[in-house]
Amino acid sequence: MKKRDIILIISLLLISGLGYCLSVNRLAGGSAYIYIEGNLYDVYDLKQPQTIRIEGRGGIIDDVVIENNGIYVKSATCPYRECVKSGRISRDGESICCLPAQILIVVRSDEGTGYDAITK
């Protein structure tokens, strides 16, 4: 390895570390926005525990559970179940996506400050 290789690798690690620090300092989430094929399907309050059944593209069914101010996909009929493996999310800006069904679950804070306000 040459000097420039080490510089490249260290700078990439710094960028990812910086980005990670930004991403963990996010606000606690308030609502879960569920999108199907890019369109907003519904918004759920994370404070109300419930189980939702969503049908995405190609008839793929996801069972989504809301509890303890978080949300996770309990079961899905898609082939790889990446959405189930994603686990529970609860912070502002975190998301679970199911690519085959084109279902996207995003947690956003209700305060409307922080990240939301900056990017909009």
Partner 1 sequence: MMRSQSKSVCLCAVLSATGLMVSYVESFVVLPYGIPGIRIGLANIATLIALYLLGGFYAFIVTVIRVMLSALLFGSFSSFLYSIAGACLALLAMTVFKRLGFSIYSVSVAGAVMHNTAQIAVAAVLMSGVYLLWYLPVLIFTGVMFGLLTGFLADILVKRLSKVLFSTGEGG
Render the burial of 37-71: b for 16+ CB within 10 Å, e for the rest. eeeebeebebeeeeebebebeeebebebebeebbb
Provide, rounded to whole angstroms, the least separation between the CB of residue 19 and partner 1: 3
Q: Which is nearer to partner 1, 23 or 51 (CB)?
A: 23
Binders of partner 1 among residues 36 to 95 (CB under 8 A) are 37-38, 82, 85-87, 93-95
**28 lies in the site for partner 1, by CB under 8 A:** no
What DSSP state is assigned to residue 58? Answer: G
Backbone angles phi, psi at 46, to 5 degrees: -75, -10
Contact 56, 73 (CB under 8 A): no
Residue from 15, 28, 45, 113 binding partner 1 (CB under 8 A): 15
**18 lies in the site for partner 1, by CB under 8 A:** yes
Query: Which residue ranges make up the site for partner 1 (CB under 8 A)?
Result: 1-2, 4-5, 8-9, 12-13, 15-20, 22-23, 26, 35, 37-38, 82, 85-87, 93-95, 97, 99-100, 102, 104, 106, 119
